[in-house]
Amino acid sequence: MSRYAAARRVAVKGASGSGKTTLAAELARRLGVAHIELDGLHHGPNWSEPTAEQFRAIVQGAMDDHPDGWVIDGNYERKLDRLVTDAADTVVWLDMSLALLLGRLWRRTSSRIRQHVELWNGNRESWSTAFWGRDSLFAWTVRAFFRHRREWPQRFACHPGFVRLRTPAEVRCWLDELAHDEG
């Protein structure tokens, strides 16, 4: 039996396009626990954002609402610090290549824009916010990619349930290991 078989509180981390939400939803389904998407809690109408104090209270409340377990996807370290990762028994970092991230992000974002997909609280992505300017989604992803590679190995090295997955194949193998352990 693997050390991840008993996972009940899982934080899924990674840059935009890494597959956080997809993995978290599947993992929550397999574990029979709640899936909590931080983006959905953070982005209010017209892309409004809570303060750090407000966001910490919202996220803590979501975790408290699911005492039997949860899988939380997202980062937000600047507002949450270690709130989620300290409460998690497992921290999964989807450390995919930058080329993979950008390719996925392009396909996902351009599809959402063309199809006018509503994300959270009536918000939709636009060409300008996704592709232009210092705060565009793509610029943010590149900066986050390098920041995570620089900071996260040390930040999570001491976490007893730290898992670093670098390819989609590693993600599939890890999920298969969980399924095998549970079955």
95-142 confidence digits (pLDDT tens):
999 999 999 999 999 999 999 988 988 888 888 888 877 678 888 899
Instruction: Give the integer Cα–Cα distance in Å for 28 and 105.
Output: 23
The verdict on residue 37 lying in a domain is yes
The verdict on residue 124 lying in a domain is yes
The C-alpha angle 28, 125, 11, rounded to 5 degrees, equals: 25
The verdict on residue 1 lying in a domain is no
Secondary structure (H, E, C), the chain: CCCCCCCCEEEEEECCCCCHHHHHHHHHHHHCCEEEEHHHHHCCHHHCCCCHHHHHHHHHHHHHCCCCCEEEECCCHHHHCCHHHHHCCEEEEECCCHHHHHHHHHHHHHHHHHCCCCCCCCCCCCHHHHHCCCCCHHHHHHHHHHHHHHHHHHHHCCCCCEEEECCHHHHHHHHHHHHHHHC
Number of domains in the chain: 1
- Domain ranges, residue 52: 9-182
pLDDT, position 177 = 86
6-43 confidence digits (pLDDT tens):
679 999 999 999 999 999 999 999 999 999 999 999 99
Q: Which CATH number fits the domain that encloses residue 98?
A: 3.40.50.300
The model carries a pTM of 0.90
